[in-house]
Structure 1
């Protein structure tokens, strides 16, 4: 049975966690799925300042994402295209290959505020077309994921590497 803390969450009560990496990635967000008792659906509230993005251009092999734009405007990189969006728009990111890679960029003049939702897959593979990276993750418990980030063909270990008798 789900442990529901509250059946309603107020966005203004969320404790946002700030992040910043390099010159492009900056923002603050908060996950609140668990507070609502949701296990299979991940939900986050995001705030991204002008000129920034919350994450690199990427695609998911398993998870699907949905973004509901609450305030602001920006550009949605999706596959090989770019699309303008504004408050009230809903952006979809189905799973797949590089043709479904996506990234939200705040190209407006005010803080971009949006909700992001995804099905919480226990195992996921993400690709990052701009950098040639991939990430593989597997949920090993409710609060722990095993993650590996790399590039195809780099630092690749043979299946039998280090195994006794190999």
Structure 2
């Protein structure tokens, strides 16, 4: 078995982020948390994931401050997993993945879930990167300034 390499100290923000949330189970857990899933058993049922894998991913997400545990809202003995502010900051990541999937992984007319604005019941607008003065910006208009570059 290949030993997992940690990118926790990499100079690249993408590598560091992937070190924490880079496997599909973690992203699907975060997606489900945005959809209101709170309890271990609910994550397990929603994802069809093995208990050991789920426990490991929930522990990792909690240790990294993306989720926190709290007493169950129904005052039962259960604990619930809630998104922290850090976890809620991943909302745009989940939306970006959703929109990429919508654009590239469905046949025309194929049914799929959609993200809607709760106030208007309309689909949300497309995410778009913009310059500081509001102009659209594509990947071709950007570059990464490396840490050791002047």
User: Could you say whether these structures have the same fold, taking a TM-score greater than 0.5 normalized by the shorter chain as the test?
Assistant: no
Higher helix share: 2
TM-score by length of 2: 0.24
Report the structure, 1 or 2, having the larger strand content: 1
